[in-house]
Amino acid sequence: MKHLTHEQRNALAQQLDTMRQQVLDELRNSAPDTFAHSALNASQEVRERTDEAEAEREDGVRQAEIEIDRRRLEDIERAQLRLSEGRYGTCATCGLEIPAARLLAQPTAIRCAACQAQLETRSR
Ligand SMILES: [Zn+2]
């Protein structure tokens, strides 16, 4: 992480913090057991969700969204940990330093652009 300036590290830390807050807000909004959600939508849902299958499908969609948010949160927290431990910004595949511009555009990136592209080509 020597290739990152103090300012860049601060910017990344701040960006990760903002991202984390956003995901937490989203999780709070989409979690079915959240008080705010049930208070706002309970009466409306009872009327609209007479069809059980439809209700289950919607729950499935919501669960999938929560799952995506959880994974994003994990990625963000892992990046924060790497940053605090000073092993941030190194490609997980080739071990080279990930350019600062890429990290600033995507703070949770764990691979350099070349390795990421190769990975995506292979999994397709
Ligand atoms: Zn790489």
Residue range 35-85, pLDDT digits in tens: 444 444 555 555 555 678 888 888 888 899 999 999 999 999 999 999 999
C-alpha 118 – ligand 1 centre gap (Å): 9
More confident residue, 123 or 32: 123
Find the radius of gyration of the CA atoms of the chain: 19
Structure confidence at residue 92 (pLDDT): 95
Give the phi and the psi of residue 98 in degrees, each rounded to 5: -80, 130
C-alpha 106 – ligand 1 centre gap (Å): 15
CA angle 81, 30, 22 (to 5 degrees): 40
Structure confidence at residue 49 (pLDDT): 54
Asked if residues 5 and 101 have their Cβ atoms less than 8 Å apart, the reply is no
The percent of residues above 90 in pLDDT, for the chain, comes to: 66
Q: Which residues contact 37 (CB under 8 A, 6 or more apart)?
A: 29, 30, 31
C-alpha 111 – ligand 1 centre gap (Å): 5
pTM of the predicted protein model: 0.76
Structure confidence at residue 54 (pLDDT): 81
In 3D space, the residue among 2, 4, 1 whose CA is nearest the CA of residue 101 turns out to be 4
Q: Quote the distance between the C-alpha of residue 82 and its chain's center.
A: 15
C-alpha 61 – ligand 1 centre gap (Å): 34
C-alpha 33 – ligand 1 centre gap (Å): 41
- Helices 6-30, 52-85: axis angle to 10 degrees equals 160
Q: Which residues contact 111 (CB under 8 A, 6 or more apart)?
A: 91, 92, 93, 94, 98, 119
C-alpha 119 – ligand 1 centre gap (Å): 10
pLDDT above 60 for 23: yes
